[in-house]
Structure 1
Amino acid sequence: MLDRMSDQTPKPSRHHIWRISLRTLSKSWDDSIFSESAQAGFWSALSLPPLLLGMLGSLAYVAPLFGQDTLPAIEKTIISTAHSFFSPSVVNEIIEPTIRDITANARGEVVSLGFLISLWAGSSAISSYVDAVVEAHDQTPLRHPVRQRFFALFLYVVMLVFVVATAPVAVVGPRKVSERIPASLANILHYGYYPALIVGLTLGVIILYRVALPVPLPTHRLVIGAVLATAVFLIATLGLRFYLTWITSTGYTYGALSTPIAFLLFAFFGGFAIMIGAELNAAIQEEWPAPATHAHRLRTWLRARTAAITGAAD
């Protein structure tokens, strides 16, 4: 009875919220959130071409199974989604030309050594995010750096397989459905695009927080940080879009460097959002420690049983 009561999280008060907020800011500063975000942003920018090469190169084989127009539709969807987050200059001068160039030779690149190298390079962004989440929860000593780098590569490959398997269905499915339903319902499906995009982004952050940690927290304890990360990223990108539009209208630009700098700023805010959400989850964990997950309890029990059997055999 006492154990059950101790597992229950007390109702948060204004004092708890204030203390958790201060602790989140303190941990963020101690973990050098700005330098970590800059590192994540740099690797995200550097990983974009190999990431697109891996995804579009694989889709070049899978997408035609769903129709000859599926791959162009996926390209159009990726570019349209990029317009939802990034400024027009970033999309038109960096993302869209990269997608067009990669798609032109995608099938040949998949069977080349460059594709294998792109898997390692493309996973660098995932690795930086995993490092940031693990550091925020003070679990860095629990996983060897080399093992963590290969773990990030594994996550990247899993993500790549998932995207290749679901992207054709995600693009073709709504289009087929909208052709067979009344116009009023089709409008609802159209207006539900952005809410679905936000929910999908939040779920992706939750999954990252869940799988990145050597000793993961229960999934429901990661929702608050994921919501904060999504909100920070959306607000930051929206503010950055307005700022870039304003600064361009004034005539003060960085010339040829303006678009790469803008893309790096978007990537920086992505890393910042991921890390601030992880820091909030870590601060909540310090305030109200969560019980171990069922998977962690099972692993602990199996290790104990294995040690007992080995000791008895000796």
Structure 2
Amino acid sequence: MPGAAREPRPARRVITRLLRRAWDDDVLGQSASAAFWQTLSLPPLLLGLFGLLGYAERWFGPDTVVAVQEWIIRISGGVFSRNAMDQIIIPTVAEILTTARGEVVSIGFVLSFWSGSSAMATFVDAITRAHDQYPVRSWVWQRTLGILLYLAGLAVGIVLLPVAALGPDRLLPLVPDAVEPAARDVVNVLYLPVVVVVLVLALTTLYKIALPFKPPWSRGLPGAVLAAVVFLVGATGLRLYLDWITGTGYTYGALAAPIAFLLGMYFIALAVILGAYLNASIQTVRPAPLRRRGRRGTTAPGV
């Protein structure tokens, strides 16, 4: 009808709602909180991972833990600054590696489940808030879910990290010598994309599991892709900024490494939480059937 207001396009409505909800819910503050808990949870997480990997050497070989340690340091080097690597990550990983096996049966290791799952619980809280489903669960079950997801992450890490760290070296000797150079080139080209795809799929699964009223699994993919893009852009910008600061001669002194490390953790948290808000915006504009405990529904409280 002439003169009637045109309905905004779905993409515009999604972006508008994403920005409005992210600002109203203080996503920057939520990301800072998650970054704090990620930092606090890092030693317990590595303690649990390396402690359990020490017992998995019988399946993957005697150098499994060392190979995983080197792989984590190599991957982290692409995200964090040199100062953060030299002063925080490498010493922490090396120290925990020497004590992890002895701690795996100690009370300290049991207590690490609580502190090590705090970051995961923070993400679960943020995802449920984005979808207006935070009041649905009791705080006890919400915290328990964080611990269960932490344990699941450890179990998956025990299997996938050795495969990621040792896989190419173990598989290439099985390839005929005539095609080994080509196979090595293929592995080198596909290695990073495969890692990114696995992380995106894992994050998509987290977006589904964290919610009491669950949308279809595919509804988590847009948020996971956005999270990957935000993280890559943020990490690249952080490294360029730190390189520029170092080049100007200005320095944060002893605080340089902690600041760089916390900023890296902050971008990880911001990426994950923004992805959750994108999924929530899409669900509002284009609702999909929701399920809870096998029962199908159409709406959730607050949606």
The alignment's TM-score, normalised by the length of structure 1, stands at 0.87
1:22 aligned partner, one-letter code: T
**Are residues 1:54 and 2:35 paired?**
no
The DSSP-based 3-state class of the residue aligned with 2:78 is helix
Amino acid at match of 1:239: G
AA aligned opposite 1:87: S
After superposition, what is the alpha-carbon deviation per residue over 1:23-73, rounded to whole angstroms, capped at 9, x for unaligned? 100010111101100000110011111110010111111124422122211
Q: Does 1:260 align with 2:254?
A: no
Distance (Å, rounded) in 2 between the aligned partners of 1:63 and 1:171: 13
Task: Give the structure 2 partner of residue 140 of structure 1.
Answer: 134
Corresponding residue for 2:235? 237
Residue among 262, 272, 275 paired with 1:274: 272
1:104-183 correspondence runs (5 A)? 104-181=98-175, 182-183=180-181
Q: Which residue of 166, 183, 186 maps to 1:185?
A: 183
Quick one: distance in 2 between partners of 1:116 and 1:279?
33
Matches of 1:275 and 1:168 in 2, distance apart?
28
8 Å contact 2:17–2:281 — kept in the other structure?
yes
Question: Any residues of structure 2 matched to 1:275-290 within 5 Å, and which?
Answer: 275-290=273-288
Tell whether the 8 Å contact from 2:41 to 2:118 is kept in structure 1 after alignment: yes
Q: In 2, Cα distance between the equivalents of 1:220 and 1:165?
A: 25
Check whether the contact 1:64–1:71 (CA below 8 A) recurs between aligned residues.
no
How many aligned positions are there?
Answer: 287
Query: Aligned-pair distance for 1:196?
Result: 1.4
Unaligned runs of 5+ in 2: 1-6, 298-303
1:87-102 counterparts in 2 under 5 A? 87-102=81-96
The match for 1:10 is none
CA contact (8 A) 2:117 2:150 kept: yes
Shift, 1:166, TM fit: 3.1
Q: What residue number does 2:69 align with?
A: 75
Q: 1:298 aligns with which of 286, 294, 301?
A: 294
8 Å Cα contact 1:247-1:253 kept in structure 2: yes
Aligned-partner residue type, residue 86 of structure 1: F
8 Å contact from structure 1 (residues 64, 70) kept in 2 = no
Query: Alignment RMSD, CA only?
Result: 1.7
Contact 1:55–1:160 under 8 Å retained in 2: yes
2: CA distance between counterparts of 1:122 and 1:33? 22
**Structure 1: which 5+ runs fail to align?**
1-12, 302-314
Deviation at residue 157 of structure 1 after TM alignment: 0.7
**What amino acid does structure 2 have at the position aligned with 1:157?**
L
Give the aligned residue type for 2:12: W
Distance 1:300 1:190 in 2: 44
Task: Report the TM-score when normalising by structure 2.
Answer: 0.90
Whether 1:18 and 2:16 are equivalent positions in the alignment is no
1:172, CA displacement in angstroms?
A: 2.6
Identical-pair percentage = 45
